[in-house]
Amino acid sequence: MPKTQAQRIVLATHNAGKVRELAESLTGFGVEVLGLAEACPDLAEIEETGTTFEENALIKARCVAGIAGLVSVADDSGLEVDALGGAPGVYSARYADDWPGLPGESRDQRNIRKLLHVLADVPEGKRSCRFVSCMAAVRPDGVEMTVRGLWEGRLLMAPRGENGFGYDPLFFDPVIGRAAAELSREEKNARSHRGNAVRALLARWREFMRP
């Protein structure tokens, strides 16, 4: 593929933190990472109609690659709870949208409140779960790649910690003995599903970008 395209990629997110993290990871590959605000400032929110993390990541990456004419990378992630047959899965971010919110409650807090309610009668030994992150990379010429990262754990009976976001206060990592919301950013990146997905992406990056 043209050299100019190989030197610039678009991360399909408006999250500046995600853009910065991927840019730091790809430093040794000589590429510049752009966010949607720079590459596609007028792009409306992309509707995620897939039923799997891979499908949703590819939907976003294909859309942005087609509009920007550059390599695009997108991720889709969520929480799978074994006692719930893998739910909330791809619906993790909007899991409790059907629940009325409490005064001052954030969306994340409402999701946690619903999950704790649904699992109220599930004992500690049956609360296994995992965070899943799928990353998709799409070239303008149609070449595609998907990778997956996992983070195995179990759900606590009550939230712990002040860091992170989403379900982090409920997710307990038995290997290090702390909740995700009790970890520093560096500790979380070393263990997390997204960190594992990024490392899997980087392991295949040179092959993916080969003309």
> Which single residue is written with the structure tokens 């709870």?
81
178-179 and 171-173 beta bridge pairing: antiparallel
Treating both helix axes as pointing N-terminal to C-terminal, what angle do 193-203 and 16-25 enclose, rounded to 10 degrees? Answer: 40
Kindly provide the residue ranges of all beta strands, DSSP E only, lying in the chain, ordered along the sequence.
8-11, 32-35, 71-81, 128-138, 144-155, 171-173, 178-179
Known catalytic residue at 141: no
Output b/e per residue, 153-166; b: 16+ Cβ within 10 A. bbbbeebbbeebeb
In the chain, the largest separation of any two C-alpha atoms, in whole Å, equals 57
Extract the tokens encoding 122.
């599930």
Catalytic entry in 76, 82, 97, 173: 76
Would you please indicate which residues are annotated as catalytic (active-site) residues? 76
